[in-house]
């Protein structure tokens, strides 16, 4: 929370993907990010000259620690998280070729070909479709998700 007038509490509807802690008296800034940073951490010293900058990678707990109790997070719901992961990974792993990144490249190339005669997509661009897990491997993953969910409920 910032000093002086302004927002003193903030309730988010979802878990944030990043944050920063600004310690004005110490001229120190710490930042964390779970998503693609696109050079964010490398740019901090230039954006905050004269300040000590710290990259906490995805360690949000550093932010919590530096706030000395002012930042409160809800308890993690591991059962719900495990179910979300199972669903997302399942959709991604078992998606059709048309829905995959390679499928989107082929579709885009088809749309562009009338505008650029001779335009071709190399086989390298659509190669490397990831291997899918065997039934046994997928069952082990689902069992691990179930175990995590049961552990959370117990």
Position 152 scores a pLDDT of 64
Q: Which residues contact 125 (CB under 8 A, 6 or more apart)?
A: 102, 105
Structure confidence by residue, pLDDT tens digits, 109-128:
888 888 888 878 877 777 76
Distances (CA, A) of 26 to 7, 16, 53: 22, 25, 11
Structure confidence by residue, pLDDT tens digits, 69-95:
888 787 778 888 889 889 988 888 887
- The yes-or-no verdict on residue 53 having pLDDT over 90 is yes
The strand pair at 28-33 and 18-23 is best described as antiparallel
d(CA 67, CA 73): 12
d(CA 133, CA 136): 8
Would you say the pTM of this structure is higher than 0.85? no
The model's confidence at residue 148, banded by pLDDT at 50, 70 and 90, is confident
Q: Report the SS3 class of residue 54.
A: strand
Distances (CA, A) of 56 to 34, 62, 83, 110, 123: 10, 7, 27, 43, 39
- Bigger pLDDT: 9 vs 52: 52
Percent of the residues in the chain that have a pLDDT greater than 90, as a whole number: 21
As separate numbers, helices (DSSP H) first and strands (DSSP E) second, the chain gives 6, 3
């Amino acid at each position: 929370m910032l000093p002086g007038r302004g927002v003193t509490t903030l309730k988010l509807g979802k878990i944030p993907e990043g944050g920063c802690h600004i310690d004005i008296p110490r001229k120190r800034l710490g930042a964390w990010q779970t998503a693609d940073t696109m050079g964010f951490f490398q740019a901090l010293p230039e954006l905050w000259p004269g300040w000590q900058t710290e990259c906490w990678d995805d360690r949000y707990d550093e932010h919590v620690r530096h706030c000395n109790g002012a930042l409160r997070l809800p308890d993690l719901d591991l059962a719900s998280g495990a179910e979300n992961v199972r669903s997302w990974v399942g959709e991604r792993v078992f998606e059709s070729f048309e829905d995959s990144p390679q499928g989107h490249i082929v579709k885009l190339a088809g749309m562009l070909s009338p505008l650029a005669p001779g335009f071709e997509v190399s086989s390298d661009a659509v190669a490397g479709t990831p291997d899918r897990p065997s039934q046994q491997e997928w069952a082990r993953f689902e069992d691990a998700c179930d175990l995590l969910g049961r552990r959370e409920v117990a």
